[in-house]
Amino acid sequence: MLNYILKKADLIFPISIYLQNYLKNKKIDEEKIFTLP
């Protein structure tokens, strides 16, 4: 059971980190757009 959970975590953690980075970059892009003259 624990192995199963760890395997799931191996899939979920990289995805969540990827999403966090994606959203961070998206937010920065939006800030760039709003700061354009």
> Can you give the pLDDT at residue 9?
82
Q: How many DSSP H helices and E strands does the chain contain? A: 1, 0
% pLDDT > 90, the chain: 0
4: its two tokens: 């199963």
Residue labelled with tokens 């800030």:
31
Q: Is the pTM of this model over 0.75?
A: no
